[in-house]
Structure 1
Amino acid sequence: MITKLRIHLTEHFPFLTHKKLLLAVSGGLDSMVMAHLFSQLPFKIAIAHCNFGLRGEESDADQAFVKSFAEKHEIPFFHTRFDTQSFAKDYKLSIQLAARELRYNWFAELLQQKELDYLVTAHHADDNLETFLINFSRGTGPEGLTGIPGKIGNIIRPLLPFSRDEIETYANENAIQWREDSSNASDKYLRNKIRHHVVPLLKEINPSLLESFSNTSSYLQQAMSMADDASRIVYRKVVTEESHQKKINIGELLVLPNYKAYLHSWLAPLGFTAWEDIYHLVHAQSGKQVFSTHFRLLKDRDFLLLAAVATENPTELYIEKGVGEVNFPLKLSFRKVNGISDAPNTVIFADEDLLHFPLILRKWHEGDDFQPFGMKGQSKKVSKFFKDEKLSAFEKEQAWLLCSGDDIVWIVGLRQDERFKIQHKTQNILQITLHNETSISP
């Protein structure tokens, strides 16, 4: 087995040469064989063990067992203990999901703190098959049918080519001891039900099941790679990236026979799961939206707009007279000038003597009105101005008003108010500039 592992590492993990590895070792058969194998290979390794505190003395005995192995082989050993049940209750997770969250977060911290390069786990061919069957039984996209990846980020799984039988045979031949987790005998968890009842039946039907599954998994991965290539090509044609959002052209999208698949490919990595709602969004009225934890997708006329969920920012900022620059929430500069010139909508010239300080930088409110530059004596609702300018809901949310008391001086980056413009009698001209990286484009 060690010869087969050496060849596999050389062919698929050549980048591991001279790297420092952290082995995730529970004390069970798979991880103890992994630890034994890597202790014979020319790598700098350390061992990490998680005590989830779920089986009382049995969990403590697992920790002591792994620690003893590490000390015997002079391998650095790190361990931690979690209150898994409390964590699961607090975050409304199953015990399995809570344990996964806890251990991978801790592993990531260890890699950084101890300056280690990769985490190594002992997932093998049977685990891969079980994961496929779990995903298949629950319903999944194509990515859920390609099995466990051999490498994802800084996590590697070099035992995936090996079956559980191979691993156990190696352990027996080399007198490797391991700890049996009593919970593995229970059918309480879906994985155990599949392991104990479904997989044996499938292996009875096809004795070469693992090899057949490996081939199928390889074909699916190749198909997914082709689909990813197509997704990137279509993305460049259909999606426009702007500073605060991405715009998906619905007309261009709907001419594609598989537009739902493209939406899934683009949005699934962002945490979206309400697929039927998303698919219906292309035909919905403007203003309808779907959320993930950190992003939202909004129907706005002929586009689907994708943006991050807004974080809480100050809703008002007071700017005293004489201030030269503010940097948050927008970057604005203020300076006195002797004259005016043609300028983009990111610059205005105001009569400083008409301004009441401190100026107020704030979000717009329903009912706000102003006198648009060039429309002397005519008021207009800010909301109507936004509509006429065809601003999306996202762009409206990003809009800021610079105010003198209750009067709007500038819808920042869009339109100045007529009442504060420069006239022939103006003596003090204040140039106010919105720097380009924060400008708003209608």
Structure 2
Amino acid sequence: MNKIETIVRNYIVRHGMWKHDGSYIVALSGGADSVALLLILKNLGMSIHAAHCNFHLRGEESERDEQFCVDLCEREGICLHRIHFDTLTYAEKHKVSIEMAARDLRYRYFAQLARDIEADGICVAHHRDDNVETLLLNLLRGSGVDGLAAIAPKNGNILRPLLCISRQDILDYLAEKGQDYVTDSTNLEDDALRNKIRHHVIPLLETLNPAARENIAQSARYLRQAKMMLDDAVNAVEAVDVPSQPEDSSNIITIGKQLVMQAASPEFILHQLIGSYGFHGDTIDGIIESMNSQDGGIGKIWKSNEYMLCIDREKLLITPQKEMDNLQKEKAFRLPEEGNYSFAGNTRIRIRRYPRTADFTPSKESHRITLDADQVSFPLTYRLTQQGDRFKPFGMKGTKLVSDYLTDRKRNYMEKMSQHVLTDKAGEIIWLIGERTSDHCRITPDTPSILEIELEENSEV
């Protein structure tokens, strides 16, 4: 076991990457990094398979790389799994870059292969210099802590045993073993930003400090440790205040404003909590600024590609934009007479009239109401609330704005937006659905007939 193999072995053991009775897949491209990874793990005594992907992106080079991997594995006695991809068609179909298409295809294949052969891990050949390039690349993109932190040694069953050594270490190892490898000609070009960093920026930094690579890699590791501590802080906030599932199956995620604003860095905490919903940078700054304003930003709305965020009294509310768009498109539904109706997805309403009996008791259920049938004029209309809607809540003498009533009931913005009402022929609200009926249809001692209205939502039709 030589020096490099010893370093890698210690790194693997330290990060719990090796089960002595386990088997592992090595992602083998034929390049120096993956060839070194294959030989090091084999020499350490790990049970390994190799997997090669031919993306058919570089013509004869792609075929050359595959044949090299076949010959290498045959010589070393390692089982090689191969697959071919039409990467360009995949990229066009899924509207992603060629680089992203290749990545998706590669990792999907590795995951399936790992299941098929019951492998314990998938080993990829990222090394220390990749950390340096990634940090510099993400600095240029304005990334947060997540982008600046070092690449993780383990991510699920993806293992990176070579993060402890440099590209030069790898080349020296292969030279010592007399092992050749293939070179991807696109890595020598300056078309990609990463290649420009590799070929020009890092060498320039090394003229300022010969230890630039090692120092930047060390900074990335420190940033990763800091990120892990920050993640613990964010997880503590989530554990206290962010439900793992939307409340009441309403698809609304809520985040307490107070816990965010009391954090040492509200911007960071908020980014960690809502970044996955597409809210970043200036948007997060705007949300924090609004929450700090005199009115607390209540009612203000921000949109990402797929989600909408609203500042409520005590919480931030996040809901899929598609749901709010569907609400805005929802049309009123006319109920001309008594009977059963199905509409608006899986909403059902049943309306029936019956004589009042001596043992009659008014309904107290939120989804079913009983009214004085003679005071209700058809057709009825089922619709969303509108600005300026008023009604006379049961038991009150005067009318009240629906918006004020819902505010008093501490209903949040999303709940107000999705609130439905039932109106009579004159357009008067007879039921603020799920909340309260109108006083003008109340049952009195002289009421001879009862009108019962029952609502079922999100039920199977």
The equivalent residue for 1:229 is 232
| Alignment of 1:259 onto 2:266 | yes
Match of 1:193 among 165, 188, 196: 196
The equivalent residue for 2:280 is 273
1:387-398, aligned counterparts within 5 Å?
A: 387=407, 389-398=409-418
Q: Which runs of 5+ in 2 are unaligned?
A: none
Go from structure 1 to structure 2 and tell me whether the alpha carbon gap of 1:252 and 1:87 turns closer, same or farther (over 3 Å shift). closer
1:280-319, aligned counterparts within 5 Å?
A: 280-282=289-291, 283=293, 285-301=297-313, 303-311=315-323, 315=330
**Deviation (angstroms), 1:6:** 2.8
**Deviation (angstroms), 1:185:** 0.9
**Deviation (angstroms), 1:169:** 2.1
1:124-203, aligned counterparts within 5 Å?
A: 124-203=127-206
Question: Do the aligned residues in 2 keep the contact of 1:9 with 1:158 (CA within 8 Å)?
Answer: yes
> Counterparts of 2:129 and 2:309 in 1: how far apart (Å)?
39
> Counterparts of 1:157 and 1:357 in 2: how far apart (Å)?
70
Go from structure 1 to structure 2 and tell me whether the alpha carbon gap of 1:179 and 1:85 turns closer, same or farther (over 3 Å shift). farther
Cα deviation, 1:150-172, whole Å, max 9, x if unaligned, reads 11233221111121122122223
1:18-167, aligned counterparts within 5 Å?
A: 18-40=21-43, 43=46, 45-70=48-73, 73-84=77-88, 87=91, 91=95, 93-111=96-114, 116-167=119-170
Give the number of the structure whose alpha-carbon radius of gyration is greater.
2
Question: Do the aligned residues in 1 keep the contact of 2:372 with 2:442 (CA within 8 Å)?
Answer: no
**Deviation (angstroms), 1:113:** 6.0
The equivalent residue for 1:412 is 433
Stretch deviating more after TM superposition (140-149 or 284-293): 284-293
Question: Do the aligned residues in 2 keep the contact of 1:290 with 1:296 (CA within 8 Å)?
Answer: yes
Go from structure 1 to structure 2 and tell me whether the alpha carbon gap of 1:416 and 1:41 turns closer, same or farther (over 3 Å shift). farther
| Alignment of 1:340 onto 2:361 | yes
Match of 1:297, SS? Answer: strand
Question: Do the aligned residues in 2 keep the contact of 1:146 with 1:217 (CA within 8 Å)?
Answer: yes
**Deviation (angstroms), 1:121:** 1.2
> Counterparts of 2:340 and 2:176 in 1: how far apart (Å)?
79
Go from structure 1 to structure 2 and tell me whether the alpha carbon gap of 1:78 and 1:291 turns closer, same or farther (over 3 Å shift). farther
**Deviation (angstroms), 1:212:** 3.3
> Counterparts of 2:377 and 2:191 in 1: how far apart (Å)?
70
> Counterparts of 1:218 and 1:145 in 2: how far apart (Å)?
9
Cα deviation, 1:93-130, whole Å, max 9, x if unaligned, reads 55434433443344445545665443321100111111
TM-score (normalised: structure 2): 0.75
Query: Identity of paired residues, percent?
Result: 32
Question: Do the aligned residues in 2 keep the contact of 1:326 with 1:333 (CA within 8 Å)?
Answer: no
Cα deviation, 1:381-434, whole Å, max 9, x if unaligned, reads 645544554533211233344678877654333223446555544566758477
**Deviation (angstroms), 1:142:** 2.0
Match of 1:340, SS? Answer: coil
Q: Which amino acid in structure 2 is aligned with residue 259 of structure 1?
A: P
Stretch deviating more after TM superposition (39-48 or 355-364): 355-364
Stretch deviating more after TM superposition (297-306 or 233-242): 233-242
Stretch deviating more after TM superposition (143-152 or 71-80): 71-80
> Counterparts of 2:176 and 2:122 in 1: how far apart (Å)?
27
RMSD: 4.4
Match of 2:125, SS? Answer: coil
> Counterparts of 1:403 and 1:141 in 2: how far apart (Å)?
51
Question: Do the aligned residues in 1 keep the contact of 2:349 with 2:453 (CA within 8 Å)?
Answer: no
Question: Do the aligned residues in 2 keep the contact of 1:353 with 1:428 (CA within 8 Å)?
Answer: yes
Question: Do the aligned residues in 2 keep the contact of 1:287 with 1:299 (CA within 8 Å)?
Answer: yes
Question: Do the aligned residues in 2 keep the contact of 1:340 with 1:349 (CA within 8 Å)?
Answer: no
Q: Which amino acid in structure 2 is aligned with residue 84 of structure 1?
A: L
> Counterparts of 1:357 and 1:118 in 2: how far apart (Å)?
67
> Counterparts of 2:40 and 2:189 in 1: how far apart (Å)?
29
Q: Which runs of 5+ in 1 are unaligned?
A: none
Q: Which amino acid in structure 2 is aligned with residue 273 of structure 1?
A: H
> Counterparts of 1:150 and 1:71 in 2: how far apart (Å)?
29
**Deviation (angstroms), 1:358:** 11
**Deviation (angstroms), 1:134:** 1.2
| Alignment of 1:245 onto 2:248 | no
| Alignment of 1:373 onto 2:413 | no
The equivalent residue for 1:399 is 419
Match of 2:317, SS? Answer: strand
Stretch deviating more after TM superposition (317-326 or 4-13): 317-326
TM-score (normalised: structure 1): 0.77
Aligned residues: 434
